[in-house]
Chain A
């Protein structure tokens, strides 16, 4: 019983690690892509929006959906 349990504990650790490592075999997403995915998953989160805008600003871009007049304002003012 104890051996089965020990095996289960290690499997519990190893399986997710294998999935996470396997997912990294493909092309790695950039910071912007990660933020975009977060925006998709949590569209109502202000924190996510803020991080997304910061990431865009970090790359010298602005949010395409924002009015032109707002695109170059500091992020804090946009929120």
Chain B
């Protein structure tokens, strides 16, 4: 998910009428974006009380791969986007395939650490990117807001990573397996303290900036604020109170997947609606019918079940091959998400109905 860093030209128009707050609509935004952390928290508590944690783990494990599929539909199913980005979309999978094969077949360590760190950055970037879309819909596009949003998400996600005993253990294990020197407890404590100080400062600045914007003509989107608070709180819940790192990872993965699937469907559906009479085979999948939605979800789940199922069933060279494909899928998802949703692109803005501003400068960001 990418964030916009385009400046809003306040001289471009005098229209300061209230903007739409929602991506889909109030009810569906609450279920699929804003209220999802609460719904998942209730589901997690219910599962824990009934000893059904395995359901969360299986769903999270399948979802972790499954949600790559809708992103690939966007990346490789959109002719215009493909023509613009073909070098990245063709050469990146090849580069990742060589990289992952080297690590898997050479029995090398280290790639898990890269995937872990990029995954945390990707999760934080997705929350930030969706928040930026909410702000764009509200007509608030100040670069300072974009920067503070990105820092807010990144610092909180990093802080939780450093304070979570489970996550920290996994990260250090991967580093030590590579033979890197041992980090002393004092160094780890210093890093944690430093992260607390930086996160506190960024949070303070972010809150002040949000409050300030409510005195201007274009306040920040309240839906963005709710999305940030809910997602960051859920990241905390999944990693700090929940001691089991596997359940914690699976739980946050579910939130990430629901957000992503809903966002892709909304985007592709809008694209289909705006291209009346010009639908591609991929876009036919995004009709606003119950059957189409179920088929979209089923295809996505099938992608995840296929790879995770084979991982569970296969062994030897076949398992290594599946491991390579899953790793390539993961890295490619992280990479493509850094540019396929970029609000700098006019077509993306038009599809999201945020094209009523003038782009002054476009130092693109939005790494996932």
Contact = CB atoms under 8 A, between A and B. Distances in A.
Contacts of B118: 13
B363 interface: yes
Contact of B113 (A20, A26, A43): A20
A20 B178 contact: yes
B172 A2 contact: no
Nearest to A25: B179
Contacts of A78: none
A41 B114 contact: no
B188 A21 contact: no
Contact of A23 (B168, B173, B178, B185): B178
Given A20-B110, A21-B108, A40 B184 contact: yes
Interface of B is mostly: helix
A60 interface: no
Contacts of B188: 41-42
Contacts of B20: none
A30 to B, nearest CB: 10
B243 A47 contact: yes
A38 B177 CA distance: 11
Contacts of A17: 99, 110-111, 114
B338 interface: yes
B178 A24 contact: yes
A1 interface: yes
Contacts of A45: 165, 169
Interface size, B (range): 20 to 34
Contacts of A48: 165, 169
Nearest to B166: A47
Interface string B109-120: 111011001100
B338 A9 contact: yes
B4 to A, nearest CB: 14
A59 interface: no
A1 B183 contact: no
A75 to B, nearest CB: 17
A23 B113 CA distance: 13
B110 A47 contact: no
Interface in A32-53: 33-34, 37-38, 40-43, 45, 47-48, 51
A34 B110 contact: no
B105 interface: no
B367 interface: yes
B101 interface: no
Given A34-B177, A40-B184, A24 B165 contact: no
Contacts of A34: 173, 176-177
Contact of A38 (B117, B172, B335): B172
Interface in B316-368: 335, 338, 363-364, 367
A6 B367 CA distance: 10
A78 to B, nearest CB: 18
B184 A38 contact: no
Contact of A47 (B109, B165, B185): B165
5 contacts: A20-B114, A38-B169, A41-B182, A47-B166, A47-B243
